[in-house]
Amino acid sequence: MIKDWGEFLRVVLVDTDTARSALLGQALQDQGYEVIKRLSPGPNLLAQIARIMPDMIVIDTDSPDRDMLESVSLLNEHNPLPVVMFADEDNDTVVREAIRSGVSGYIARNTDPERVRSIMRVAIARFREYQALKDELLQTKSELQTNKMVQKAKKLLVQHKNTTEQEAHQAIIKMSMDQNKSLADVAQNIISVLGMEI
């Protein structure tokens, strides 16, 4: 079967986070979009985009180079014309969600608005998913950290206060409740006080 190339939107992704960019690139390809290139932000971004001539650019809003993209259409008429995905009534929700998720879209030529929206929806979903993953990772890390600290505090209590492990554990939990502090904070206190005496 001959592909209808007219249907294809050539997308460039610009992301400071290469892992997220890979994730989104795959997701878009799975849905049949052609991701021609993943770029890192930097001074050469414009030159690269001018060479590639994509239909659409998806960029993460942590990149200061967003402002560079806005210059192409305004300062130089000879280049392709990416304009920020604009906010008519049809796009309002998508644009709003994109801003909240930290992603922005630029359209370089006349393209089917529905396809553009659908690309942005995929981007928003992946950006959110990635953020959730990162948050979860941080959470897990901090739980592991707390666990380690409580174990260490327990050991110190056993050594210094002549208690059993179970008593030490209960004492830490009680302190946490009485002082309205997190387990990590209580453990940290014990470590800094008793750890010094070693």
- Give the residue with the Cβ less far from another protein, 69 or 187: 69
- Give the residue with the Cβ less far from another protein, 104 or 188: 104
CB of 98 to another protein, least distance (A): 9
- Give the residue with the Cβ less far from another protein, 71 or 139: 71
d(CA 26, CA 179): 49
d(CA 65, CA 146): 39
- Give the residue with the Cβ less far from another protein, 13 or 59: 59
Burial of 97 (0-12, 13-18, 19+ CB in 10 A): middle
CB of 43 to another protein, least distance (A): 4
Residue ranges binding another protein (CB under 8 A): 43-44, 46, 61-71, 74-76, 83-87, 95-96, 99-100, 104
- Give the residue with the Cβ less far from another protein, 4 or 67: 67
User: What 3-state DSSP class applies to 105?
Assistant: strand
CB of 102 to another protein, least distance (A): 9
CB of 96 to another protein, least distance (A): 5
3-state SS, one letter per residue, for 21-67 = HHHHHHHHHHCCCEEEEEECCCCCHHHHHHHHCCCEEEEECCCCCHH
Cα radius of gyration (the chain) = 26
Residues 6+ apart with CB under 8 A from 140: none
CB of 78 to another protein, least distance (A): 11
